[in-house]
Amino acid sequence: MLKALIINPNSDQEMTSKIKEVIDLFKTEYIKVYVAGANSGPKFVFSEETIKETFDGVSKIIKENKENYDIFILACHLDPNLFELRKLTDKIILGIGECSILFSKMLGKTYSIIGSSDKTVKLKIDMTNRYGALDGLVDVGYPKEQTNNELKDDLLNASIDSLNKNEADSIVLGCAGFVGIDAFIESHLKKDVFDGIIVSMMIADNYAKYKYYKLKLS
């Protein structure tokens, strides 16, 4: 069985704990999944500057663990420093932004990304363009500030607003902190809602399954 390490690149330990809780509900067959959070860096990634600030903490985790894990999953939807981090090891490093965006595109679906705030809109568009998936992007939405609602309700409302502006086939949740809310939104919208952490785990698990299949044939 392969081992995967999900890395929260920001220093918000509450978010790291939330990721741990949700992944325990998603049962993988061919990988064992662990979670680690950076001990340094910003608590929230929302700019080019904060993206750069995550590098030292994440690179330290990868360097210290590259012999212990087969797959690393970067748990920030902006995929901070993904290409630079991939140079540190021959092991697979998945970005939850890349995985969720390309998964939606692979299914032939247009999509709206629901990010955390207006601060990340341009970064989301630039990232989507970098992955060659801009043709499927319909909108980048985000929750309204200062509401008394639960996060899941704010994200549902942001998704509805985005779809009312520009109809899309699916919603891509654009923050690791939104993990575990995909099913709630999908049940109300009747459209596919993709969470990057879950999609990344699914890809990693099926990669391991394929390796096992080839091992049996060899």
138-160: per-residue pLDDT in tens? 999 999 876 778 999 999 999 99
At 84, which amino acid appears?
E
Q: What's the token pair of residue 19?
A: 């990721």
Claim to verify: residue 180 and residue 142 sit in the same structural domain: yes
Average pLDDT over residues 61-69: 97
Kindly tell me if the per-residue pLDDT of 186 is higher than 80: yes
Claim to verify: residue 89 and residue 149 sit in the same structural domain: no
Average pLDDT over residues 51-61: 98
CATH code of the domain in which 20 resides: 3.40.50.1860
Mean pLDDT taken over the chain: 96
Element (H, E) at 165: helix 151-165
Q: What's the token pair of residue 189?
A: 């919208």
Contact 165, 140 (CB under 8 A): no
Please report the pLDDT score of residue 166 as a whole number. 93
Please report the pLDDT score of residue 218 as a whole number. 86
CATH code of the domain in which 116 resides: 3.40.50.12500
Q: List phi, psi (to 5°) of 56.
A: -60, -45
Claim to verify: residue 119 and residue 135 sit in the same structural domain: yes
- CA torsion angle for 127, 130, 133, 134 (degrees, to 10)? 70
Rama region for 81: left / alpha / beta (φ>0; ψ in -120 to 50; rest): left
Claim to verify: residue 131 and residue 87 sit in the same structural domain: no
Please report the pLDDT score of residue 185 as a whole number. 98
Claim to verify: residue 178 and residue 213 sit in the same structural domain: no
Strands 111-114 and 137-141 come out as: parallel
Sign of CA dihedral 71, 32, 196, 56: negative
Q: What's the token pair of residue 202?
A: 């699914």
Claim to verify: residue 72 and residue 124 sit in the same structural domain: no
Please report the pLDDT score of residue 160 as a whole number. 98
Q: Based on the structure, what is the number of domains in the chain? A: 2
Please report the pLDDT score of residue 55 as a whole number. 98
Neighbours of 166 (CB within 10 A): 12
Claim to verify: residue 127 and residue 49 sit in the same structural domain: no
Average pLDDT over residues 9-20: 94
Claim to verify: residue 164 and residue 185 sit in the same structural domain: yes
User: How many CA atoms lie less than 13 Å away from 72 in the CB half-sphere?
Assistant: 30
Q: How far apart are CA 99 and CA 67, in angstroms?
A: 24
State the residue range of the domain holding 121.
Answer: 98-195
Model pLDDT for residues 21-36, shown as the tens digit of each residue: 998 888 899 999 999 9
Q: What is the b/e burial string over 64-80, where b = at least 16 CB atoms within 10 angstroms of the residue's CB?
A: ebbeebbbbbbbbbbbb
Please report the pLDDT score of residue 27 as a whole number. 86
Q: Any residues with CB less than 8 A from the CB of 49 and at least 6 apart, and which?
A: none
